[in-house]
């Protein structure tokens, strides 16, 4: 069996949820579990996070999976309905929908089902992706409240564009814009994503939407989840499958991009971009061999990486190699690859074996 394994730490998920609650004690927590729980496994994550007040998903299919798994909490489809026919499914599964376009309101207005649907009204305060213009907040809110197909308890929400930059004026402007636009309207408020929870306490409202923080991942430049008291929920690991001598001046890997500076030993580990390890991770990207740092050299290939073992003379075939997890933040690997930690955990492929622990 291929040695590559992603271990999901259930206790870390629960501890990270507790940490979110500590930072936002007056708010309810929506656990965002889209993209198969950020690559950690949708059902696995939701069961571990049974203490969450609601779950956020990207589409109806994920809501269906959660209900089939026995999840009873509120489930919010973050992009809302795609077509009028979705409404019957959303009612059957007791899903709530974000409303961000006039077409969605038109579908609700034409709906004749007497059972009101819970909705979250999204305003675009600066992200410029989904949402109504702030100056339309009162008009759209009034229209929704007048529809028989809509529950009168409407949650008002927005989404931050740059909250991971903790001194960015844009987030402060978005908060002020949102508060001004919804002033006097009944309904709970939801502004803060993970970075907002930890960096913008004035934005917590009655609901916070925790995504990456629950998995122990931070998107604040130069920091990891551990800097905010979070634990990584995934350890990606494999083993050495070969150790080969290389002479000074010999080159390693595709395109011969790395040259040995001395006579040395190169370890070969059973992981590559076919498993979701980033192909663009540069030479020097750290790994842990027997719990101690080493560095990859040469290009990442589909099934294998090569590792400088100069500082590991005792390394042997079969020794463990950790690609990210405790002691080696995924954020650090992502920075080397020019991306973010979310991208890496979401990108772990189906050929990687998954396991769980509760330590």
- As annotated, the active-site residues are 34, 254
- Residue 248 has, within 13 A of its CA and on its CB side, a CA count of 3
* Close Cβ partners of 139 (under 8 Å, ≥ 6 residues apart): none
Among 286, 335, 192, 306, CA closest to 242: 306
- Per DSSP, the residues of 269-297 read ES--GGGT--TTPPTT-EEEETTEEEEEE
* Contact between residue 33 and residue 46 where contact means Cβ atoms under 8 Å apart: yes
- Per DSSP, the residues of 55-98 read EEESSHHHHHHHHHTT--SEEEETT--SSTTHHHHHHHTTEEEE
State phi, psi for 283 to the nearest 5 degrees.
-55, 135
Pairing of strands 74-77, 95-99: parallel
Give the C-alpha separation, 267 to 317, whole Å: 8
Q: Tokens 């656990």 — which residue?
A: 31
């Amino acid at each position: 069996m291929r040695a590559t394994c992603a271990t999901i730490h259930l206790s870390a998920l629960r501890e990270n949820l507790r940490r979110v609650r500590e930072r936002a004690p007056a708010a309810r927590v929506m656990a965002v579990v889209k993209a198969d729980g950020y690559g950690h496994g949708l059902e696995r994550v939701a069961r571990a996070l049974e203490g969450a007040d609601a779950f956020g998903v990207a589409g109806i299919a994920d809501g269906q999976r959660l209900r089939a798994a026995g999840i009873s909490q509120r489930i919010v489809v973050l992009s809302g309905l795609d077509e009028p026919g979705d409404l019957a499914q959303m009612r059957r599964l007791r899903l709530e929908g974000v409303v961000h376009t006039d077409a969605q309101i038109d579908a609700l207005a034409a709906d004749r089902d007497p059972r009101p649907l819970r909705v979250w009204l999204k305003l675009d305060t600066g992200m410029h992706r989904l949402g109504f213009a702030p100056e339309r907040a009162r008009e759209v809110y009034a229209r929704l409240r007048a529809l028989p197909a809509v529950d009168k308890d409407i949650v008002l929400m927005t989404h931050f564009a740059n909250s991971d930059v903790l001194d960015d004026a844009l987030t402060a402007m978005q908060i002020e814009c949102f508060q001004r636009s919804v002033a006097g309207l009944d309904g709970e408020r939801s502004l803060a994503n993970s970075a907002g929870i930890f960096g913008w306490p004035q934005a917590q409202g009655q609901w916070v939407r925790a995504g990456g923080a629950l998995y122990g991942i931070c998107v604040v430049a130069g920091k990891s989840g551990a800097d905010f008291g979070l634990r990584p929920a995934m350890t990606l690991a494999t083993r050495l499958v070969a150790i080969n001598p290389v002479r000074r001046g010999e080159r390693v890997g595709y395109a011969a991009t790395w040259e040995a500076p001395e006579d040395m030993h190169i370890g070969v580990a059973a992981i590559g971009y076919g498993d979701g390890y980033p192909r663009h991770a540069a030479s020097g990207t750290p790994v842990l061999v027997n719990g101690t740092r080493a560095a990859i050299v040469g290009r990442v290939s589909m099934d294998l990486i090569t590792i400088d073992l100069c500082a590991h003379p005792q390394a042997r075939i079969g020794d463990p190699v950790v690609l990210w997890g405790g002691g080696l933040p995924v954020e650090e690997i992502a920075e080397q690859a020019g991306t973010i930690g979310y991208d890496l955990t979401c990108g772990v492929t189906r050929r990687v074996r998954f396991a769980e622990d509760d330590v």
